[in-house]
């Protein structure tokens, strides 16, 4: 009877210490929701069979950049059938260097092979340090070089080949749970990329939106249900963050699936991919977001001055300054009219030979439907301006010594074979008043005025004006 009781006790000890390992092969479903600021929510559903009473569950293949304090385990089929005791995230991965570090102060075996006889000899040594190389203490000496191979008695419990969440729990009965582990992680990010193709007349464009996903979280999400949140989520910043090495990326083919489904979500917008997708470790993937054709566009030429022009005297200023080229379109119409997440719009146009050429790009912020999207594509080669200060006076008085009167002449040249309209915008400091002008201006804001200057093909137009400003 004593032997039977002893054997039962030994079996219970082994059962308590034995880990139940759950790998990605147990996975029934995985869903990831990725936010803009290097943040993602992972929901990992697995079928796991537990022993009755105490269990140590090793949940492998979690993100290497998991925020372990956010991890929540729940059973979908037996919600009250277990009780969580503790959980630990083992993020030290098994490498020769890490293994050596874990054995500082402990004994290992150094095996050497005689180059003449081929016989192997073994010697015990204590690991003293591994900071800038290994330091080994033998029974009669200390060495700093390894002349042989190292043999370790085992792998420490907290050193694993894959990121693992170790969960200690008590199970009320011996049954199979549908466990869902949800957690927040960094290392998963996304942004939008837009490809615009202009027509010959620069009057309409075709627009395709792509979502670019980057996975540097340290694990793969197979056949995942993918959702993206566009909006600025507030996060509490930790005092100190763990530094994680950035991985190299590979680029996958662009998805040819249907555009993503969009819906309002809290004060953000949620985009759902309508089919499962695999997001592999160290991978950049692109999936379709939206598509629109024949979108009407407007093109603008803009010259901008500076407010310091109006309280100083200058001999030369803004000579042969090129006009900036802007292109705009409304977020409405078939294929558009949805909230567009922030990203980069790249614009292409075909040359005379029919080859698409890159003509510029600009970054856009989150854009609600029916809003204007305005892109700066570059500077016009054939539209330039020369600015000449024709008069300057400082009108002093006892109460207002900072009163200035200045006059400018702006000559705008158009080398194109078609007429253009150039918007000349001038920021005005202090209290200002236009005293004279050759073209009527428009007050765009309290300190900004604009002239629309029409310039004939292969010709020039001169804008003259005089302004008085009073600086407080």
Q: Listing from the earlier edge strand, what are the strands of the sheet with 188-198? A: 250-251, 283-296, 204-215, 188-198, 343-350, 356-364
Most confident of 3-12, 40-49, 162-171: 40-49
- Choose between 244 and 314: higher pLDDT: 314
Band of residue 8 on the pLDDT scale cut at 50, 70, 90:
very low
Looking at residue 5, its pLDDT comes to 40
Band of residue 338 on the pLDDT scale cut at 50, 70, 90:
confident
Q: Which residue in 224, 466, 197, 247 sits closest to 348, CA to CA?
A: 197
How many CA atoms, within 13 angstroms, populate the side-chain half-sphere of residue 375?
26
- Cα R_g (the chain), whole angstroms: 34
Average pLDDT, integer, range 384-397: 91
Domains, in order of start, for the chain: 2-92+160-185 (no CATH), 96-151 (no CATH), 188-296 (no CATH), 299-325+379-470 (2.60.40)
Residue 156 has pLDDT above 70, yes or no: yes
Q: What is the pTM of this model?
A: 0.70
Residue 253 has pLDDT above 60, yes or no: no
Helix (H, G, I), strand (E, B) or coil at 276: coil
Residue 110 and residue 204: Cα distance in Å, rounded?
A: 73
Residue 316 has pLDDT above 90, yes or no: no
Are 286 and 190 within 8 A, CB to CB?
no
Helix (H, G, I), strand (E, B) or coil at 145: coil
Looking at residue 252, its pLDDT comes to 32
């Amino acid at each position: 009877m004593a032997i039977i009781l002893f054997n039962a006790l030994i079996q219970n000890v082994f059962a308590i210490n034995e880990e139940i390992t759950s790998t990605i092969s147990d996975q029934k479903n995985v869903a990831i929701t990725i936010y803009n600021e290097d943040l993602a929510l992972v929901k990992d559903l697995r079928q796991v069979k537990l022993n009755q009473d105490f269990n140590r569950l090793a949940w492998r293949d979690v993100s290497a950049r998991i925020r372990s304090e956010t991890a929540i385990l729940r059973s979908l089929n037996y919600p009250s059938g277990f009780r969580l005791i503790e959980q630990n995230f083992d993020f030290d991965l098994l490498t020769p260097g890490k293994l050596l570090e874990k054995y500082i102060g402990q004994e290992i075996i150094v095996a050497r092979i005689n180059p003449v006889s081929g016989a192997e000899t073994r010697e015990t040594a204590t690991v003293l340090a591994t900071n800038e190389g290994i330091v080994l203490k033998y029974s009669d000496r200390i060495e700093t070089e390894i002349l042989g191979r190292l043999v370790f008695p085992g792998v420490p419990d907290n050193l694993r080949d894959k990121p693992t969440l170790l969960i200690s729990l008590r199970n009320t009965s011996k049954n199979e749970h549908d466990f869902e582990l949800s957690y927040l992680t960094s290392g998963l990010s996304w942004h939008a990329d837009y490809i615009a193709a202009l027509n010959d007349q620069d009057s309409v464009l075709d627009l395709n939106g792509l979502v670019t996903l980057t996975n540097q979280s340290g694990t793969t999400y197979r056949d995942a249900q993918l959702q993206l949140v566009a909006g600025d989520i507030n996060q509490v910043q930790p005092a100190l963050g763990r530094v994680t090495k950035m991985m190299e990326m590979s680029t996958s083919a662009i998805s040819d699936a249907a555009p993503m489904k969009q819906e309002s979500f809290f004060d953000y917008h949620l985009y759902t991919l309508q089919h499962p997708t695999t997001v592999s470790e160290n991978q950049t993937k692109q999936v379709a977001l939206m598509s629109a054709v024949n979108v009407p566009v407007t093109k603008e030429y803009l010259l901008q001055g500076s407010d310091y022009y109006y309280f100083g005297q200058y001999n030369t200023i803004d000579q042969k300054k090129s006009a900036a080229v802007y292109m705009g379109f409304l977020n409405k119409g078939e294929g558009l009219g949805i909230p567009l997440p922030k990203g980069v719009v790249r614009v292409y146009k075909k040359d005379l030979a029919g080859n698409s050429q890159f003509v510029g790009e600009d970054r856009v912020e989150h854009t609600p439907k029916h809003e204007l999207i305005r892109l700066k594509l570059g500077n016009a080669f054939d539209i330039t301006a020369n600015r000449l200060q024709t008069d300057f006076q400082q009108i002093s008085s006892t109460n207002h010594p900072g009163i200035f009167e200045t006059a400018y002449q702006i000559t705008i040249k158009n080398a194109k074979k078609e007429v253009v309209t150039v918007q000349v915008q001038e920021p005005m400091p202090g209290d200002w008043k236009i005293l004279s002008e050759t073209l009527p201006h428009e007050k765009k804001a309290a300190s900004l005025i604009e002239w629309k200057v029409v310039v004939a093909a292969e010709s020039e137009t001169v804008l003259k004006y005089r302004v008085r400003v009073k600086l407080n």
